Amino acid sequence: MTPAAYARVLFAGPDLTEGSFAELFRCQLVALRGEVALADIIDTSAGYASLWDRAAESERPLLVIDLDPQSSAQHLDWLRSELGKQTQPDQLFAASLLGQFDADPAAAACALAERGELHLACVGVPELPEHHAWSCIPPHRQRLLLCNGPRCTRRGALPLWKSLREQLKVAGKLECAGGVHITRTQCQFPCDDGPTVSLYPEGEWYRIRNQEEVVRLVQERIVEGRDVPELLMRS
């Protein structure tokens, strides 16, 4: 499908209605595509029902640009498979920035809309295998839940996730007997103090903002079992 052939392009993702990111994105999109483009923005903060409705009523062929900052190849496969349940699925296509944003997200999204080689059909999406090699619960004693909600993600949660895994692995505490199982989550609150990470079963909430704080959390709280009051979030 060539970009010029689309009857409509929808821009879908969280935080596209209110907030500084929404204001920036909308302003940039209007500059590129005019006021009419505002009707093509779908906010998915509260779920994807509005996107499915718009996809059902929009002209074909249709391209959906995924603007979720947490997007991944797996998320894009899910989005494609859900769009594939619509009528005329062979006329539906999806593309994603895969969480890679810059200072001009609207320009990046519009540029993606012009790159037909990156647009994927919403039919023929591979089915999930019935059994995965990683289908067993990993051994662990504690769980660390790192928020990857929109605001924590934009405060650097994704690189902190990689660092957290690395530090736990080096410490010999990653998903082993007596160790820690880590999981990324949607918004945990409180957004203004994040990135947020919660530790269970202790029920402790911390904020980690940089590599130094990740190292402290792992070494002092997980390995040594000491309190880290400087990182602890207060109720």
* CATH number assigned to the domain comprising residue 209: 3.40.30.10
As a 3-state breakdown, the chain gives helix, strand, coil percent values, each rounded to 5, of 40, 20, 40
The pair of three-digit structure tokens given for residue 125, joined into one six-digit string: 């999406």
Same domain, residue pair 113 and 181: no
pLDDT at 7: 96
Question: What is the identity of the amino acid at 204?
Answer: E
Same domain, residue pair 27 and 116: yes
Q: What phi, psi does 12 have (nearest 5°)?
A: -120, 135
Q: Which domain holds residue 22?
A: 3-121
Sheet holding 204-207, edge to edge: 180-185, 142-147, 196-200, 204-207
Tens digit of each residue's pLDDT (9 = 90 or more) over 44-90: 988 899 999 999 999 999 999 999 887 888 889 999 999 999 999 99
Instruction: Report yes or no on 230 lying in a domain.
Output: no
List the beta bridge partners of residue 93. Answer: 63, 121
Rounded to two decimals, what is the model's pTM? 0.68
Instruction: Report yes or no on 228 lying in a domain.
Output: no
Distance of alpha carbon 146 from alpha carbon 208, whole angstroms: 9
* CATH number assigned to the domain comprising residue 76: 3.40.50
Instruction: Report yes or no on 34 lying in a domain.
Output: yes
pLDDT at 133: 64
Query: Of 51, 86, 121, which marks where a domain is finished?
Result: 121
Tens digit of each residue's pLDDT (9 = 90 or more) over 110-166: 999 999 999 999 999 988 777 666 678 889 999 999 998 878 887 888 889 989 999
**Residue with token string 């970009």:** 3
